[in-house]
Chains A and B, each alone.
Chain A
Amino acid sequence: MSAASTGPTGALAVGDVVAERTVHLTRESLVRYAAASGDFNPIHYRDDVAAAVGLPGVLAHGMLTMGLAIATIESWVGDTGRILDYGVRFTKPVVVDPVSGADVSIVAKVGAVDEESARIDLTVSFEGTTVLVKAQVRVRTV
């Protein structure tokens, strides 16, 4: 049995993949996140505003990417009260095409283990480029 099916209290080895998925974002996803979060910056839903400020297109909210990334590991974590901390650096934008949307892929691997916790490293990519750097979750394992 792999670590992926044992949860955070099972035997964990650095490099184990604990979860992965691909999330398909559409413009509807961005409008939904805007409403849920209260972040109505128009660069996340208006092509004209995005173009006017020099962006390559309408972008996903960084906090949407951060949120969907950690949700990838929740079924492995179980009780989300085990999550001790979570941090990311936003490096590249996720451009969401009005017709084809955007696919964001997440791979969650064990990055480090100590006596009480494990560090899960999230690799979050869009069109083959990493969009979050140092996306790390520390999960209590006892």
Chain B
Amino acid sequence: MPVNPELVGRDFAPTTPYLVGREKVREFARAVFADDPQHIDPAAARALGYADVVAPPTFAIVVTDATLQQLLAEPDSGIVLQNVLHAEQKFRYSRPIVAGDELTAKLAVTGIRAMGAAAMVTSESEITDAAGDHVVTATSILLVGEGDQ
């Protein structure tokens, strides 16, 4: 198994806060063919009770990119990006992400399971807002193959 099993339970620093911009939300919504007005029109979002445009549900993955970079940056991880396949993804929401949010992600590697020469790595990124309240937890399962380049 190429992946270092000691990554499980390792303490990772919270990521630098990510400020969600209105135009970024619009850009992402267009990219995922999400044309509902709540993503584009602040008035439509306000009518639903939100302060500004609402990000599509999978926008959380953009905020978790910094945690993937943390994992790849661990010198002893055994994980090389080109050997990584995204096997599963799940999001559990307390509320949607809204433009104006300042979000921090905290990474935890919760499981590593050998699969022949490869490994299934489960990681959780808990995303909280500036008040420290939970927004969404993103759980990724990566299939990591062998190779050192």
Contact = CB atoms under 8 A, between A and B. Distances in A.
Interface string B9-33: 0000000000000001001101111
Band of interface residues on B: 35 or more
Contacts of A23: 33
B91 A35 contact: no
Q: Majority SS of interface residues in chain B? A: mixed
Interface centre among B34, B58, B65, B87 (most CB of A within 10 A): B58
Interface stretch (A1-9, A10-18, A81-89, A111-119): A81-89
Given A32-B30, A68-B33, A70-B56, A86 B90 contact: yes
Interface residues of A, number: 33
Given A37-B62, A80-B38, A62 B86 contact: yes
Contacts, number: 105
Interface string A106-136: 0000000000000000000000000000000
A80 B139 CA distance: 19
B93 A84 contact: yes
B35 to A, nearest CB: 8
Contacts of A63: 58, 61, 86, 89
Contacts of A83: 57, 93, 96
A87 B27 contact: no
Given A32-B31, A38-B65, A68-B34, 18 more contacts: A36-B28, A37-B62, A53-B82, A63-B86, A63-B89, A64-B31, A67-B57, A68-B32, A71-B56, A81-B95, A83-B57, A85-B93, A86-B57, A86-B58, A88-B90, A89-B87, A90-B86, A90-B89
